C-alpha cells in the first residue's frame, strides 16, 4: 500500500481496507502476465532482448486492477445494504466513486431500495445467485428515478383533481382526470357532470376531504363503467349495457345472469324517469339499487311461487286448517286472511279450482295468485253478507214476536235480507200472516235450540247462533234447527201471497176505464155488422145502379155540349184572335227558355265544342299517323310542329349542358376511384411497413387536392379555355378536321370494330375506356346509345367471325366485346338496374347475422374443432388434417352441412326470384347484345342446340353481368357502405356460396366429383335451370335498335342541335396515331372516306403544337396536365355539306331543300294538293304573313348558339317571297322527277308523305328528349351521390393518416424509414412459461431436435408491445436468450379462420393455434 500511495505512481481511489485484495489481485495479474511473456519468448527468438514491461505491470494495468477491486468491493457493500434493507446506507454505497452511477438523488433512496430488491429477487427467480452488477444497478436507478418522477407527477395531478372537484367545474375536473400524469383509468368527457357529482360526494365523505390516487382510480374506473352504461342506455344498445353491468370493473354486487333483461328494463325506466327530472346520468348507487331491487323482487317471486304450490296441495288434501296455514304464509303475501273463515276459504277455492279445470279441460290446472286472492276476498265478502243476512232474519222474527207493525215492515225492507215484493200498504197484512205462521210453528212445539241454518248465496249453509249472534260456516256439534224461527223462504212465501192479493184488488180499481172501453167496442161491432149487411145489398145491385147513373150523366153532358157549340158559332172571330195570341205566346216562351238554357250552360257548350274540335284534330292526327297518303289539308294543319319553339331550344340547351356535366362527372369519378384504389394499396403497404408514412401522406394531399379541385376544374375547363374559340385559326381548322373524323368514326362502326382487334387486348381495353365511351358520350342520349349498340353488334360479329372457332370459347375465353358490353352496362347507366334487382335480397342476407353458409366438409370440421378448443381451453383429441370423406364421417359435420344447404337453398330461391321477375329492369343494351350473341353463334354454328346457345346467353347475363355484383356488392355500389366500412368474412362467404349455386343453375352444371357431397341439391339445380332458361329466352326477345329508338337516316337532320362530344387532347392524338398505324387494316379500299380525312389531318401533331402551350420538353410535368385538357367537338359530316350555288347538288340535298321550301309555302297558302298550291298565286296578305315569319326566324337563328345551329340556309332562300319559293320548288321538282325521286302523276304525294313522316319523327324526338332529360337528371344525381361517397372515403383516409401521425408523434418522432418507427416501450406485464408447462396445456406440441424431457430448460416470455394485438415472444434455453419472435394476434385469427390448426414459432416450435389464442385471450384480454 505504501508503494501504491507513492505520488509518483499516480494511482487514485485507493482504499486501505482493501489492501489484501489489492495484493492478491495484482499478484495474480503479474503472474499471468509473466506466464504469457514466457510463452511468447519460447515461441520466438530466445536470444532477443525483451522489454522489462513484458513481465511487469504497467501503471494503467495496476490502476485497472485497483478499479476492479474497488468495483467488486462496492458491489458487495451494495448487496449487504440491500440485505439489511437500509435505504440510507444503500444510497451511500451507490454514491461510491468506484461504481460511478449516474442520476443518483438522495430523496429517491427508498425507491432505489425497492427497485433493486425487486431486481435481485427477479434475478434469483431466473436461477442466478450472483450479486447485482454495475449495469443492473444503473438500470435499477434509472427505473427508480422514472418511477419516483411519475409518482410525484401523480401526486401533483391528484392535488389538481381534488382542487377541481372542490371548485365544482365539471369540465375542468374531467380535464384533470384525463391528465396522463394522474395514472387513472379511461375517462369519458361526455359524462363530466357524473364524474363531478360522484367524486364531490366521495370527497365530502372522506375524513380528510381529500381523495388519494387509489381512491380516485377505483372511483374513476367504476364511474367510467357507469358512464358507458348510461351511454348504452341512451342508444338502446342492450348488449353493451349488460357487458358493463356484468363487468367486475363496474363493481356491482349480486349481478345475476338470469336477471339481465329485468335489470336492463328497470334501468331504462329509471333512465327515462331521471331524464324527465332533469338528471342526465344515473349514478352507481342508482344502478346498484336497481340490481338489488330486481334481485329482491325475483326472490320474492320465487318464494311466492313455492307458496302457491303449497296452497294448491292443501286444497287438494281438503284440510281447511292446513289451507288456512299456507294462506297465512308471509311469502304468499295474501291479504285479509281471517282464521274463522277457513272452511269457506276451502270450499270457495276448491270450487274455483274445479271450475278452472272444467274450463281449461285440464284436470291438473292449479289456481294462480290473483285467483286465490280473489277467492279470499269473495269468501270474506260472502261471510259478511251471511252475517248481515242472519241478523236480518232474526230481526224479522223478533219484530213479528213484538207485534209492532212498523218494526216488522222496516225489518222486512232491510236490503241485507233481500226480500222482494214488500209493499208498505200491506204492512198490517204482513204482520197478521207472519204472526199466524209463528203461532202454528209454536203449536208444533219449541225445541229451544239456539242454532239456525241458512242457505245463502253461492249454495252454502251458514250456521247462526241466535243467542251469541255469531255465525260459522262449519256445522256445530249436535246441531238442531230451531223450530220457532221463521226462515227466509217462509217469510218470502207469506209476503208474496199477501202482495199478490193486494195487487189483484188494485188492478180492478185501476182498470175501470178499460172496462168501459170494452163495452163500447162491443157496441161498435154490432153497428158495423148492420152497415156491412147494407153494403152487401148495394154491391149485389151495382149493374142497375150504374145504368141509372150513366143515363143521367149522358143527358147532362149532351145538353152542355150543344149550348157551348152554339156559343162558339156566334163568336168565331174572337176565337181565332185568341188562338193566334196564345200560339205566339207559347212560341216566344219556348224561344226565350231555350236561349236562357244556352246562357245557363255556356261552359258545357264550350266544352262540347272543344271536344268536337279535339275529336276532329285527333282524327286528323290519326290520319297523319296511319294513312298511307295523308291529304294536304291534314298535313298543313300540323306543319307548324316542325318549328322549333323557345322551349325546344331551352330543352336542347339543358340537355346539352346536362350531358356535358354527366360525361365530366363520369370521368372525374373514374379518376378519383383509381386514386382511391391506389390509396388503398398504399395504406395496405403502410400497414405491412412496405412504404413509409410520408409517401402515404403525400398521396393523401394529392388526393385531397384532386377531390376538391378536380371536379370544378373539369366542369369549368371549356368555359375557361373557351373550347375551339380560344384556339388559333390554324389550330381550330385542325380540330374541325377532327370533328369530321370523329363523326365518321361515330356513325360508321366498322372502323372502330376493326381497330379494336388490331391492338393487344390490354391496350384495346384502355382504348375502349378512354376513347370509345367518350366518343359516344357514355350513351347519354338515345342517338348515341343506338350508335354504341351498332358498334357493339359490329364488333361482336367481327370477333365471332374471326376469332371464335368453337362455341365454348365464348365461355372459357375472355372476349373483348363481351367485356366491353358488361363493363359499360355495369357503369353509371346500368348500375341502377343492378341495384334495383339485387339490393333488396343482398341487404336481407347481410342483415341476417345468424346466417352462416359453409359447404366444404373440411371447413365445417375445422370450425367445429376450433369452436370446441376455444370454448374448453383444451386440445381436441380429433386430428386436425382430414379429408372431406373423413370429415363427413362425423354426425356433427353432416348436421351442420345439411343446415347450411337448407339455408343456401332458401337464400338462392330469393335471389332467383328477384332475377327472373326483373326482366324489364335489365338494360336494353344487355338484352340486345344477348340477342345478337345468340343469333351470331347460331349463324356460325348451325348445329348448336338451343340449350347450348342459352347457356352462353346465361354466361353473359348472369355470370358476367350479375354474378360479380352478388359476390362483391360493395364494389359495384349495390349496397351503401360507409367510409371505412366493409363486408364481414361471413357475409362474403354467404354471398359467394349463393353466387356459386346460381352459377351452377344458370349453366345447368351438377355437383359431382370433389363436390359430390352436395349432389343432394342437383335436382334443385335442374329445376332452377328451367327457370333460368325461360328467363334467358325472354331476355333475347327485344326489338331492333331502329325500332326501339326510332332512328333512321334522317334523324340527325330533324334534331335541333348537332352531336357534341367532350374529349381530351391526349385522347384525340392517341386515336389519330392508332388510325394511322392501322389504316390499311381497317379500310383496305383506297377510296374509303377515312383515307381522305386522315390525309387532311396529316401527321400526328404534338400536344404543344395543337394547343400552342407548353415547353415541348417531354419530361415536363405539366405535359400530362396539358394532355388532359378537354375540348368539345361539334361533330359534322364532311361528305354531306352542299357546295356553292353553281355546283350540282346531289338528289338527297335537293330533296331536303325542296321539302323545307314546301313547308314554308303550304303554311301560308292553303290548297287540296301540292300542284294546286304551286299553280295558285299567293295573295298580298299571305305574302305579308310569310315575310313576317321569315323575319322572326332570322332573329331566332341569330340568337341560337353555334353548337345548336343546323345546316345554314342560304341568304337567298331566307329572302325569297312565296312566289319565288314556289318557282324554286317547281324547278327542284323537275330535277327530282328526272332523277326518279318523285312522281308528278300522283301530284307529288310522296313528298307530302315524307313531310308527314318528318312531323311524326319530330314529335317522337321531343318525347325522347324529355325522357332523356329525366334519365340524365337521375344519372347526374347518382353520379353526384357517388362523388359524395368518394369524398367521405377521402375524409376517412385523411382521418386514418392523421391518427397514424398522432400515434407516431406520441412515440416521440416520425421516422422516414419503417425500421426507425420504434419508440420507447413502456413497461408492461409479461407472462413466462416453461416449455413443459405449455406442453401440459396443449399449446406447445413439439420442438424440433429437442426431447420433451428438456422442455423444462426452455423458457418462453410473452410480452405485449405498444401496438395493440402484437406480442413479443422471447425464447431462452438454460437462461440464455436464444431468439425473439413477433406474434400478431390478427395473423392468428386469420389462421384460425383458414382452418390452420398448427403453426411454427422460431421455425422450430410447433404450437396449437386455437389454444394459443385461448391463452392470449385469457391472460391479456380477460376473456
> Is residue 707 within 8 Å of residue 1287, measured between CB atoms?
yes
**Phi-psi domain of 1373 (left: phi exceeds 0; alpha: psi -120 through 50; beta: other):** beta
Provide the pLDDT for residue 524.
Answer: 92
Rg over CA atoms, the chain: 56
Residue 511: HSE in the Cβ half-sphere, 13 Å Cα cutoff: 9
Q: How far is CA 850 from CA 845, 990, 997, 1215, in A?
A: 10, 11, 20, 80
> Is residue 269 within 8 Å of residue 286, measured between CB atoms?
no
H or E element in which residue 1093 lies: helix 1089-1097
Which cell goes with 322? 292446513
Provide the pLDDT for residue 1413.
Answer: 82
Provide the pLDDT for residue 1120.
Answer: 66
Lowest mean pLDDT among 398-407, 648-657, 698-707, 728-737: 698-707
Q: Could you read off the pLDDT of 315-334 as tens digits, one per residue?
A: 888 788 888 888 888 877 78
**For residue 117, pLDDT beyond 60:** yes
Provide the pLDDT for residue 698.
Answer: 52
- In sequence order, the 6+-apart residues with CB closer than 8 A to the CB of 732 are 724, 725
Provide the pLDDT for residue 765.
Answer: 59
**For residue 982, pLDDT beyond 90:** no
- In sequence order, the 6+-apart residues with CB closer than 8 A to the CB of 1242 are 629
**For residue 825, pLDDT beyond 50:** yes
Per-residue confidence at 1211, pLDDT binned at 50, 70, 90?
Answer: very low
Which cell goes with 601? 250552360
Provide the pLDDT for residue 931.
Answer: 92
DSSP 353: H
Provide the pLDDT for residue 761.
Answer: 61
Lowest mean pLDDT among 39-43, 283-287, 1093-1097: 39-43
**For residue 682, pLDDT beyond 60:** no
**For residue 296, pLDDT beyond 60:** yes
Per-residue confidence at 488, pLDDT binned at 50, 70, 90?
Answer: confident
Cα–chain center distance at 495: 82
The dihedral over CA atoms of 381, 386, 391, 395, expressed in degrees to the nearest 10, equals 120
Residue/partner pairs of 1380-1388 with CB below 8 Å, 24 or more apart:
1383/1358, 1385/1413, 1385/1416, 1388/1412, 1388/1413, 1388/1416
Q: Could you read off the pLDDT of 871-920 as tens digits, one per residue?
A: 777 777 788 788 888 888 888 888 888 888 888 888 899 988 989 898 88
Provide the pLDDT for residue 980.
Answer: 53
Provide the pLDDT for residue 587.
Answer: 93
Which cell goes with 1321? 416501450
**For residue 1140, pLDDT beyond 60:** no
Residue 568: HSE in the Cβ half-sphere, 13 Å Cα cutoff: 9
The dihedral over CA atoms of 1221, 1223, 1229, 1230, expressed in degrees to the nearest 10, equals -160
Provide the pLDDT for residue 1312.
Answer: 37
Beta strands 460-465 and 470-472 are antiparallel
Q: Which of 294-303, 520-529, 1356-1365 is the most confident on average?
A: 520-529
Q: How far is CA 603 from CA 15, 608, 1096, 1169, 1266, in A?
A: 133, 9, 68, 38, 34
Per-residue confidence at 726, pLDDT binned at 50, 70, 90?
Answer: very low
Beta strands 1354-1360 and 1327-1330 are antiparallel
Which cell goes with 86? 437500509
Average pLDDT over residues 909-933: 89
Lowest mean pLDDT among 43-52, 675-684, 793-802: 43-52
With 0-12 / 13-18 / 19 or more C-beta atoms within 10 angstroms meaning exposed / middle / buried, residue 580 is exposed
Lowest mean pLDDT among 198-202, 499-503, 593-597, 652-656: 652-656
Average pLDDT over residues 574-593: 91
> Is residue 68 within 8 Å of residue 50, measured between CB atoms?
no
**For residue 222, pLDDT beyond 90:** no
Q: What gap in Å lies between CA 765 and CA 771, rounded to an integer?
A: 10
The dihedral over CA atoms of 334, 335, 340, 346, expressed in degrees to the nearest 10, equals -40
Lowest mean pLDDT among 212-216, 565-569, 693-697: 693-697
**For residue 1266, pLDDT beyond 60:** yes
> Is residue 777 within 8 Å of residue 1029, measured between CB atoms?
no
Average pLDDT over residues 688-715: 45
- DSSP line for 247-264: -TTTT-SS--GGGHHHHH
Lowest mean pLDDT among 118-132, 456-470, 487-501, 1387-1401: 1387-1401
> Is residue 803 within 8 Å of residue 757, measured between CB atoms?
yes
- DSSP line for 1371-1389: EEETTEEEEEEEEEHHHHH
Per-residue confidence at 1199, pLDDT binned at 50, 70, 90?
Answer: low
Residue that the C-alpha cell 431500495 belongs to: 113
Per-residue confidence at 1104, pLDDT binned at 50, 70, 90?
Answer: confident
Residue 1009: HSE in the Cβ half-sphere, 13 Å Cα cutoff: 3
H or E element in which residue 1063 lies: strand 1060-1064
Provide the pLDDT for residue 805.
Answer: 83
Per-residue confidence at 721, pLDDT binned at 50, 70, 90?
Answer: very low
Helix (H, G, I), strand (E, B) or coil at 790: helix
* Arithmetic mean of pLDDT over the chain: 79
**Among 274, 289, 280, 292, which Cα is nearest to 197's?**
280
Q: Could you read off the pLDDT of 1380-1418 as tens digits, one per residue?
A: 888 887 677 777 766 778 888 877 888 888 888 888 878
Provide the pLDDT for residue 801.
Answer: 84
Cα–chain center distance at 1094: 54
Amino acid at each position: 500500500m505504501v508503494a501504491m500511495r507513492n505520488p509518483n505512481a499516480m494511482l487514485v481511489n485507493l482504499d486501505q481496507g482493501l489492501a489484501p485484495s489489492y495484493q492478491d489481485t495484482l499478484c495474480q495479474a503479474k503472474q499471468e502476465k509473466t506466464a504469457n511473456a514466457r510463452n511468447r519468448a519460447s515461441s520466438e527468438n530466445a536470444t532477443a532482448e525483451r522489454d522489462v514491461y513484458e513481465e511487469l505491470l504497467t501503471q494503467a494495468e495496476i490502476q485497472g486492477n485497483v478499479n476492479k477491486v474497488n468495483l467488486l468491493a462496492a458491489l458487495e457493500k451494495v448487496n449487504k445494504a440491500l440485505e439489511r434493507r437500509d435505504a440510507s446506507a444503500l444510497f451511500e454505497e451507490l454514491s461510491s466513486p468506484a461504481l460511478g452511477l449516474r442520476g443518483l438523488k438522495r430523496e429517491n433512496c427508498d425507491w432505489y431500495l425497492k427497485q433493486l430488491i425487486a431486481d435481485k429477487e427477479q434475478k434469483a427467480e431466473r436461477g442466478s445467485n450472483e450479486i447485482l452488477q454495475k449495469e443492473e444497478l444503473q438500470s435499477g436507478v434509472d427505473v427508480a428515478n422514472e418511477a419516483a418522477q411519475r409518482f410525484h407527477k401523480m401526486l401533483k395531478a391528484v392535488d389538481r383533481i381534488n382542487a377541481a372537484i372542490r371548485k365544482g367545474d365539471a369540465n375542468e375536473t374531467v380535464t384533470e382526470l384525463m391528465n396522463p400524469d394522474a395514472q387513472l383509468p379511461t375517462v369519458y368527457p361526455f359524462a363530466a357532470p357524473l364524474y363531478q357529482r360522484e367524486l364531490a360526494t366521495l370527497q365530502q365523505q372522506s375524513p380528510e376531504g381529500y381523495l388519494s390516487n387509489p381512491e380516485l382510480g377505483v372511483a374513476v374506473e367504476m364511474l367510467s363503467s357507469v358512464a358507458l352504461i348510461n351511454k348504452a342506455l341512451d342508444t338502446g344498445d342492450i348488449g353493451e349495457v349488460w357487458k358493463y353491468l356484468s363487468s367486475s370493473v363496474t363493481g356491482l354486487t349480486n349481478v345475476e345472469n338470469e336477471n339481465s333483461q329485468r335489470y336492463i328494463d328497470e334501468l331504462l325506466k329509471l333512465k327515462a324517469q331521471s331524464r324527465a327530472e332533469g338528471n342526465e346520468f344515473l349514478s352507481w348507487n342508482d344502478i346498484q339499487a336497481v340490481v338489488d331491487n330486481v334481485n329482491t323482487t325475483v326472490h320474492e317471486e320465487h318464494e311466492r311461487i313455492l307458496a302457491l304450490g303449497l296452497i294448491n296441495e292443501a286444497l287438494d288434501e281438503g284440510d281447511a286448517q292446513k289451507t288456512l296455514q299456507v294462506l297465512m304464509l308471509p311469502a304468499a303475501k295474501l291479504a285479509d286472511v281471517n282464521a274463522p273463515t277457513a272452511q269457506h276459504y276451502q270450499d270457495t277455492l276448491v270450487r274455483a279450482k274445479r271450475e278452472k279445470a272444467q274450463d281449461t279441460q285440464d284436470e291438473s290446472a292449479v289456481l294462480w295468485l290473483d285467483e286465490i286472492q280473489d277467492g279470499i276476498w269473495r269468501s270474506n265478502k260472502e261471510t259478511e253478507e251471511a252475517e248481515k243476512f242472519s241478523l236480518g232474519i232474526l230481526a224479522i222474527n223478533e219484530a213479528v214476536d213484538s207485534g209492532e207493525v212498523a218494526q216488522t215492515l222496516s225489518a222486512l225492507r232491510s236490503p241485507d235480507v233481500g226480500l222482494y215484493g214488500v209493499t208498505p200498504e200491506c204492512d198490517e197484512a204482513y204482520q197478521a200472516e207472519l204472526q199466524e205462521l209463528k203461532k202454528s210453528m209454536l203449536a208444533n212445539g219449541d225445541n229451544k235450540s239456539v242454532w239456525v241454518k241458512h242457505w245463502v248465496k253461492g249454495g252454502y249453509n251458514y250456521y247462526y247462533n241466535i243467542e251469541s249472534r255469531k255465525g260459522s260456516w262449519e256445522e256445530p256439534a249436535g246441531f238442531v234447527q230451531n223450530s220457532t224461527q221463521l226462515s227466509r223462504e217462509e217469510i218470502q212465501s207469506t209476503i208474496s201471497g199477501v202482495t199478490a192479493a193486494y195487487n189483484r184488488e188494485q188492478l180492478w180499481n185501476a182498470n175501470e176505464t178499460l172496462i168501459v172501453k170494452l163495452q163500447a167496442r162491443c157496441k161498435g161491432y154490432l153497428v158495423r155488422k148492420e152497415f156491412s149487411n147494407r153494403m152487401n145489398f148495394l154491391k149485389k145491385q151495382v149493374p142497375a145502379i150504374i145504368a141509372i147513373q150513366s143515363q143521367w150523366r149522358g143527358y147532362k153532358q149532351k145538353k152542355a155540349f150543344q149550348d157551348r157549340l152554339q156559343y162558339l158559332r156566334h163568336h168565331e172571330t174572337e176565337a181565332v184572335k185568341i188562338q193566334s195570341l196564345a200560339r205566339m205566346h207559347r212560341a216566344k216562351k219556348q224561344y226565350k227558355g231555350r236561349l236562357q238554357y244556352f246562357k245557363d250552360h255556356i261552359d258545357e257548350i264550350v266544352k262540347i265544342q272543344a271536344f268536337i274540335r279535339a275529336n276532329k284534330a285527333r282524327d286528323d292526327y290519326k290520319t297523319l299517323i296511319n294513312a298511307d297518303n295523308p291529304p294536304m289539308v291534314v298535313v298543313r294543319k300540323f306543319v307548324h310542329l316542325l318549328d322549333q319553339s323557345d322551349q325546344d331550344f331551352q330543352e336542347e340547351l339543358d340537355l346539352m349542358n346536362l350531358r356535358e356535366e354527366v360525361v365530366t362527372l363520369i370521368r372525374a369519378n373514374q379518376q378519383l376511384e383509381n386514386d382511391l384504389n391506389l390509396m388503398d394499396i398504399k395504406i395496405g403497404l403502410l400497414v405491412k411497413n412496405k412504404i413509409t408514412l410520408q409517401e402515404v401522406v403525400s398521396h393523401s394531399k394529392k388526393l385531397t387536392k384532386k377531390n376538391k379541385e378536380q371536379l370544378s376544374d373539369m366542369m369549368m375547363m371549356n368555359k375557361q379555355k373557351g373550347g375551339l374559340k380560344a384556339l388559333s385559326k390554324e389550330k381550330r381548322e385542325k380540330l374541325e378536321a377532327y370533328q369530321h373524323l370523329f363523326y365518321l368514326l361515330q356513325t360508321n362502326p366498322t372502323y372502330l370494330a376493326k381497330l379494336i382487334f388490331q391492338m393487344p387486348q390490354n391496350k384495346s381495353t384502355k382504348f375502349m375506356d378512354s376513347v370509345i365511351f367518350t366518343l359516344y358520350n357514355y350513351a347519354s342520349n338515345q342517338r348515341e346509345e343506338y350508335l354504341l349498340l351498332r358498334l357493339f353488334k359490329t364488333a361482336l360479329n367481327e370477333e365471332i367471325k374471326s376469332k371464335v372457332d368453337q362455341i365454348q370459347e365464348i365461355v372459357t375465353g375472355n372476349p373483348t366485346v363481351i367485356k366491353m358490353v358488361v363493363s359499360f352496362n355495369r357503369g353509371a347507366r346500368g348500375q341502377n338496374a343492378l341495384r334495383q334487382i339485387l339490393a333488396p335480397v343482398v341487404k336481407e342476407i347481410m342483415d341476417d347475422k345468424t346466417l352462416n353458409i359453409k359447404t366444404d366438409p373440411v371447413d365445417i370440421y375445422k370450425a367445429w374443432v376450433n369452436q370446441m378448443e376455444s370454448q374448453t381451453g383444451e386440445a381436441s383429441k380429433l386430428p386436425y388434417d382430414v379429408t372431406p370423406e373423413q370429415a363427413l364421417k362425423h354426425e356433427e359435420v353432416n348436421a351442420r352441412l345439411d343446415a347450411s344447404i337448407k339455408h343456401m337453398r332458401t337464400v338462392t330461391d330469393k335471389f332467383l326470384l328477384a332475377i327472373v321477375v326483373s326482366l324489364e329492369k335489365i338494360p336494353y343494351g344487355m338484352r340486345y347484345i344477348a340477342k345478337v350473341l345468340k343469333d351470331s353463334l347460331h349463324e356460325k354454328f348451325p348445329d348448336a342446340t338451343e340449350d347450348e346457345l342459352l347457356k352462353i346467353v346465361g354466361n353473359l347475363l348472369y355470370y358476367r353481368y350479375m354474378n360479380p355484383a352478388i359476390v362483391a356488392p360493395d364494389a359495384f355500389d349495390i349496397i351503401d357502405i360507409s367510409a371505412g366500412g366493409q363486408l364481414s368474412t361471413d357475409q362474403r362467404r354467404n354471398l359467394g356460396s349463393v353466387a356459386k349455386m346460381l352459377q351452377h343453375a344458370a349453366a345447368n352444371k351438377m355437383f359431382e366429383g370433389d363436390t359430390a357431397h352436395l349432389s343432394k341439391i342437383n335436382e334443385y339445380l335442374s329445376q332452377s335451370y328451367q327457370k333460368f332458361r325461360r328467363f334467358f329466352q325472354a331476355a333475347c326477345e327485344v326489338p331492333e335498335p331502329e325500332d326501339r329508338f326510332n332512328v333512321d337516316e334522317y334523324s340527325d337532320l330533324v334534331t335541333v342541335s348537332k352531336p357534341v362530344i367532350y374529349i381530351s387532347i391526349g385522347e384525340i392524338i392517341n386515336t389519330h396515331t392508332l388510325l394511322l398505324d392501322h389504316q390499311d387494316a381497317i379500310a383496305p379500299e383506297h377510296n374509303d372516306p377515312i383515307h381522305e380525312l386522315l390525309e387532311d389531318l396529316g401527321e400526328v401533331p404534338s400536344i404543344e403544337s395543337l394547343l400552342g402551350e407548353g415547353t415541348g420538353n417531354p419530361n415536363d410535368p405539366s405535359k400530362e396536365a396539358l394532355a388532359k385538357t378537354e375540348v368539345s367537338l361539334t361533330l359534322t359530316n364532311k361528305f354531306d355539306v352542299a357546295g356553292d350555288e353553281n355546283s350540282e347538288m346531289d338528289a338527297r340535298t335537293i330533296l331536303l331543300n325542296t321539302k323545307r321550301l314546301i313547308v314554308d309555302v303550304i303554311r301560308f297558302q292553303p290548297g287540296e294538293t301540292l300542284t294546286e298550291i304551286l299553280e295558285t298565286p299567293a295573295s298580298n296578305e299571305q305574302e305579308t304573313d310569310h315575310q313576317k315569319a321569315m323575319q322572326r326566324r332570322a332573329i331566332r337563328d341569330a340568337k341560337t348558339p353555334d353548337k345548336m345551329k343546323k345546316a345554314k340556309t342560304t341568304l337567298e332562300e331566307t329572302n325569297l317571297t312565296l312566289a319565288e319559293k314556289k318557282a324554286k320548288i317547281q324547278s327542284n321538282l323537275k330535277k327530282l322527277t328526272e332523277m326518279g325521286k318523285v312522281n308528278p302523276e300522283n301530284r307529288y304525294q310522296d313528298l307530302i308523305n315524307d313531310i308527314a313522316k318528318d312531323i311524326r319523327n319530330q314529335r317522337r324526338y321531343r318525347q325522347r328528349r324529355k325522357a332523356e332529360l329525366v334519365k340524365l337528371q337521375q344519372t347526374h344525381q347518382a353520379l353526384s351521390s357517388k362523388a359524395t361517397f368518394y369524398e367521405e372515403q377521402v375524409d376517412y383516409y385523411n382521418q386514418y393518416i392523421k391518427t397514424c401521425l398522432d400515434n407516431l408523434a406520441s412515440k416521440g418522432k416520425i421516422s422516414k424509414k419503417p425500421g426507425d418507427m420504434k419508440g420507447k416501450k413502456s413497461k408492461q406485464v409479461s407472462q413466462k412459461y416453461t416449455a413443459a408447462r405449455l406442453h401440459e396445456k396443449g399449446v406447445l406440441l413439439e420442438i424440433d431436435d429437442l426431447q420433451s424431457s428438456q422442455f423444462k430448460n426452455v423458457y418462453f416470455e410473452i410480452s405485449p408491445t405498444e401496438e395493440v394485438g402484437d406480442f413479443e415472444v422471447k425464447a431462452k434455453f438454460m437462461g440464455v436468450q436464444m431468439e425473439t419472435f413477433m406474434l400478431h394476434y390478427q395473423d392468428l385469427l386469420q389462421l384460425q379462420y383458414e382452418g390452420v390448426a398448427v403453426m411454427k414459432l422460431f421455425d422450430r416450435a410447433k404450437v396449437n393455434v386455437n389454444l394459443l389464442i385461448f391463452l392470449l385471450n385469457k391472460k391479456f384480454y380477460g376473456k
